[in-house]
Amino acid sequence: MFRKSFLSRYIGDKQFYRAVLAVAIPMIVQNGITNLVNLLDNIMVGQVSTTAMSGVSIVNQFIFIFNLLIFGAISAAGIFTAQFHGMGDVEGVRHSFRFKVLINVLSGVVGVAAFAAFDDQLIQLFLQIEGNTSELSPEEALFYGKQYLWPMLLGLIPYAISQAYASTMRETGETVIPMIASSAAVITNFVLNAVLIFGLLGAPALGVMGAAIATVTSRFVELAILVLWGHRHKEKCPYLEGAYRSLYIPRSLFRRITVKGLPLMLNEFFWAIAITLRNQSYSTCGIDVVAAQNIAVTIINLFTVVYMSLGGAVAILVGNQLGAGEIEKAKDTDRKMITFAVICAVGVGVLMIALSSVFPLVYKAPDSVRELASFMIIVTGCATPFFSYTHAAYYTLRAGGRVAVTFLFDSVYMWSVVVPTVVLLANFTGIGIHWLFIAGTFAELMKCAFGCFLMHKVNWSRCLVSEGEG
């Protein structure tokens, strides 16, 4: 009897998993293709030199901050989009879409200005030029980093706008087109990388600058597909009908999205800064660490796409049910989806550990860098099921509009536990990178217990919109 009750509480039926996979699989495919091509791009840049790969990796740390800022900007509006769609309120979806476009364009302009003004200072944060004993040159990494950064600035605003379209489509049930657009973008990126990095088909060999040009071109391809398809299929995207006739957003809705959105934007921004500062602390152990972590993270991202996508599916499915007023159904869906995500993450972690010594071999890098990358993959593989739970818990709290709690759960935890742990150990002890990486990972694992506490103590299952509000 107990076993039957347990299974019915945490394990869904076939219809449940069909609904979950209908949302999750396109996201998994989309993100999987993206990360696979990122891996191939990384290998191609690494063929220029390990130092070039390190310079590009450092710049991508800061592009990562920008991308998460965009994610935070659209997250609050996305909460309302999912719930308006669950209620069948097209006008509400249209207003939330307008909010996304406006805030993303503004964020893109600010991002371009910040990177252009502080290019040298930002890259040098990761380079220990004095006392360097590695065969890799920090000065050369700075040169390659700047060469890669400037073309990349052209792609920030197109990326920001495309995320407004893609996120709204996913939140309203259209997950295939964002997958197709992203897939076309990454294929474009991969082909142009091969041509422009190495000078194939008569093109000049541009090295890391060619990699940047390929990435920027892919951003425009993705945006073009989303915009053209969305505006030509308004029966499937009715919120785009008249979306640009005005910039009007009801004052009360604008205020509510902003109130929800500011903590989410700040959360993503401060969380990204915390991750960057953690990685910068790792880099104090030498430029070899920058190269090793770049290899490890690129491979890790390819594996963790499963639980990352399932977390996004939690926000969509649970958000739709909350908007429809199906509170108990939303709780049941959430509980079973978290269980499913963790089970999948166990398998992913085992696979990562099994292949940890194989993937680094494809890189043109010193043995010390490959061995360190393998170690980082093994440690992360062991932690993956716990990361899966915290990721799903974050999206659960966000789906119910508990933005203050998500800020506490995400950014406040990182800045009060993880960052002090890593920074203090890196700068005030003689600890090596292996134990430092373990300490940083363990500090993040403790967040799992915090998430479990919040999930049981906070009433996250709330409907935030009312009929006709849009």
| Residue 250: strand, helix, or coil | coil
Rounded CA separation 166/177 (Å): 8
Q: Residue 396 has what pLDDT?
A: 84
Instruction: Read off the tokens for 432.
Output: 């090596």
Integer-rounded Cα Rg, in Å, for the chain is 22
**CA 405 to CA 412: how far, in whole Å?**
10
Question: In this predicted structure, what is the pLDDT of residue 113?
Answer: 93
pLDDT at position 349 is 93
Q: Which residue has the higher pLDDT, 271 or 459?
A: 271
- Give the mean pLDDT of the chain: 84
Q: Predicted confidence band at 378 (pLDDT cuts at 50, 70, 90)?
A: very high
Return d(Cα 68, Cα 287) in angstroms, integer: 25
Whether residue 383 has pLDDT greater than 70:
yes
Amino acid code (one letter) for 36: L
Specify the pLDDT at position 406: 81
Closest Cα partner for 193 from 221, 157, 224, 217?
217
Q: What is the pLDDT of residue 422?
A: 94
Q: Which helix (H) or strand (E) holds 315?
A: helix 287-323
Exposed (0-12), middle (13-18) or buried (19+): which is 415, by Cβ within 10 Å?
Answer: middle
Measured CA to CA, the distance from residue 194 to residue 45 in angstroms comes to 10
In which band, very low, low, confident or very high, does the pLDDT at 467 lie, cut at 50, 70 and 90?
Answer: low
* Tens digit of each residue's pLDDT (9 = 90 or more) over 307-351: 888 887 887 788 778 777 777 888 888 888 888 889 999 999 999
Task: Return the minimum-mean-pLDDT range out of 272-276, 305-309, 383-387, 465-469.
Answer: 465-469
Considering only 133-142, 210-219, 402-411, 445-454, which range has the smallest mean pLDDT?
133-142
> Which pLDDT belongs to residue 435?
94
In the structure, what pLDDT confidence band is assigned to residue 466 with cuts at 50, 70 and 90?
low
Q: pLDDT per residue over 277-311, tens digit each?
A: 898 889 888 878 888 888 888 888 888 888 888 88
Q: Find all residues with CB under 8 Å of 453, minimum gap 6, and list them.
A: none
Does 362 or 413 have the greater pLDDT score? 413
Note the pLDDT tens digit of each residue in 139-171.
787 888 888 889 999 999 999 999 999 999 988
Output the CA–CA distances (angstroms, integers) from residue 210 to 60, 116, 141, 290, 362, in the order listed: 15, 19, 16, 22, 21
pLDDT(460) > 60 = yes
Greater confidence (112 vs 464) lies with: 112
DSSP state at residue 359: G
**pLDDT tens digits, residue range 239-271?**
999 889 888 888 888 888 888 777 777 887 888
What pLDDT does residue 262 have? 76
Q: Which of helix, strand or coil describes residue 425?
A: helix
